[in-house]
C-alpha cells in the first residue's frame, strides 16, 4: 500500500487545497472574470489508483467532480490522468468515470509528458503529487510548455519516514524543483507555500495562482489547515515575503545544523 498517498492525517488537507483551488479556477472562468480563457485543460500527473472510501478521497475523483460540474461543462473542461504503475493504472480505469468524452487516462511516465501547444492565455490546471523527490515529473521541458495562465498544486517534501533522514543530496533536489517553479512564475501570479507544522514527514504544498487571489487564499489555506491538521498550517507568499519563503524552505528541507552553517 502507498504509505504516503494513504496518510489519513495529511491527505485531507492536500485534497482541501486541490478541491478549493480547482473550484475557484473553474468558477472564475465560468463567469468570465478571469484573464485566462477556456476550454479548461486539467492534468493529474500522479493519478494513482483512484480509490475512494469513507476516510480517503482521490485526486481523480476531485477533478472529475469539477470537470463534470455545470461550470466545468460551460468551460468545456477536459481531464488527463497519468499513472505509470500498471497495477495502479488498471485500478484507476475501474475507479474513474470513463463514460464521457472529456477524460483521458494514460499509462506512462509523466516525466515524458508535455502540454499541447496552447495560446498563452489558455486556462490550465496541473496537479503534481509525487511519492518522493525522485518521482517528481517537473522537467524543464514540461514547465516550459505551461501557459502564462497555468495554475497548479505541487506536493513538496512528502517522505513518509521523514525527509530529514535522507542524505542532503536528495533533499537539495527539492530546492531545484522550487527554483524551477519560481523561475517560470508569471508576473501576474504568486506562489504560495503551505507547510504542515511539526510534521515528521515535512509535507508542504506549493500553489500557483493569480496575484489578485493570493492574500485571500493565504488566509483560506491557513484557516482550513488549522482545522484539518492537528498542529496547524503555516503559509507564506513568495511575492510578499521572499525572505520568509526561503526560510520556510530551509525549515522543510534542512536540519538545524545545516541551517546554522
Bridge partners, residue 31, by sequence: none
Strand order in the sheet with 103-107: 103-107, 78-83, 37-44, 122-128, 150-156, 204-210, 189-196, 233-237
Query: Which pLDDT band holds residue 158 (cuts at 50, 70, 90)?
Result: low
The conformation of residue 79, written as its DSSP 8-state character, comes to: E
* 179 pLDDT more than 50: yes
Enumerate residues 6+ apart whose C-beta is below 8 A from 71. Answer: 26, 27, 29, 30
H/E segment holding residue 226: helix 211-228
How far is 103 from 105, CA to CA, in rounded Å?
7
Across 72-86, average pLDDT: 97
pLDDT at 180: 94
- For residue 178, pLDDT beyond 80: yes
Mean pLDDT of the chain: 89
Distance, CA of 12 to CA of 215 (rounded, Å) = 22
Confidence tier at 66 by pLDDT (50, 70, 90): very high
Residues in the chain, total: 261
As a whole number, mean pLDDT of residues 112-134 equals 91
Arithmetic mean of pLDDT, 49-76: 91
Q: What is the longest distance spanned by two Cα atoms in the chain?
A: 56
pLDDT at 8: 56
Q: What is the mean pLDDT of residues 139-166?
A: 82
pLDDT of residue 73: 97
- State what percent of residues in the chain have pLDDT above 70: 90
Which whole number is the average pLDDT over 26-40? 93
Read off the pLDDT band of 250 (50, 70, 90).
confident
Q: Is the pLDDT of residue 127 over 90?
A: yes
Average pLDDT over residues 171-189: 91
CATH of 11-260, picked from 3.90.25, 3.40.50, 3.40.1350, 2.60.40, is 3.40.50
Q: Give the pLDDT confidence score for residue 164 in this predicted structure.
A: 58
214 compared with 9, residue with greater pLDDT: 214
pLDDT at 173 over 90: no
Q: Domain residues of the chain, as ranges?
A: 11-260
Amino acid at each position: 500500500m502507498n504509505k504516503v498517498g494513504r496518510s489519513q492525517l495529511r491527505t485531507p488537507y492536500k485534497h482541501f487545497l486541490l478541491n478549493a483551488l480547482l473550484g475557484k479556477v473553474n468558477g472564475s472562468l465560468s463567469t468570465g472574470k478571469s484573464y485566462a480563457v477556456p476550454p479548461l485543460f486539467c492534468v493529474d500527473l500522479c493519478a494513482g489508483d483512484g480509490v475512494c472510501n469513507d476516510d480517503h478521497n482521490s485526486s481523480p475523483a476531485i477533478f472529475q467532480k469539477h470537470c463534470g460540474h455545470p461550470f466545468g461543462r460551460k468551460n468545456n473542461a477536459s481531464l488527463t490522468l497519468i499513472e505509470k504503475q500498471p497495477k495502479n493504472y488498471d485500478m484507476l480505469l475501474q475507479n474513474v468515470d470513463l463514460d464521457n468524452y472529456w477524460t483521458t487516462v494514460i499509462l506512462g511516465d509523466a516525466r515524458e509528458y508535455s502540454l499541447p501547444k496552447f495560446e498563452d492565455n489558455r486556462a490550465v490546471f496541473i496537479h503534481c503529487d509525487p511519492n518522493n523527490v525522485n518521482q517528481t515529473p517537473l522537467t524543464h521541458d514540461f514547465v516550459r510548455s505551461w501557459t502564462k495562465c497555468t495554475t497548479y498544486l505541487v506536493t513538496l517534501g512528502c517522505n513518509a519516514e521523514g525527509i530529514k533522514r535522507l542524505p542532503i543530496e536528495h533533499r537539495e533536489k527539492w530546492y531545484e524543483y522550487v527554483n524551477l517553479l519560481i523561475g517560470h512564475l508569471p508576473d501576474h501570479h504568486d506562489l504560495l507555500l503551505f507547510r504542515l507544522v511539526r510534521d515528521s514527514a515535512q509535507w508542504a504544498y506549493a500553489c500557483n495562482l493569480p496575484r489578485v487571489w493570493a492574500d485571500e487564499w493565504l488566509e483560506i489555506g491557513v484557516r482550513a489547515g488549522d482545522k484539518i491538521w492537528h498542529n496547524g498550517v503555516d503559509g507564506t507568499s513568495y511575492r510578499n515575503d521572499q525572505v520568509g519563503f526561503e526560510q520556510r524552505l530551509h525549515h522543510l528541507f534542512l536540519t538545524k545544523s545545516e541551517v546554522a552553517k
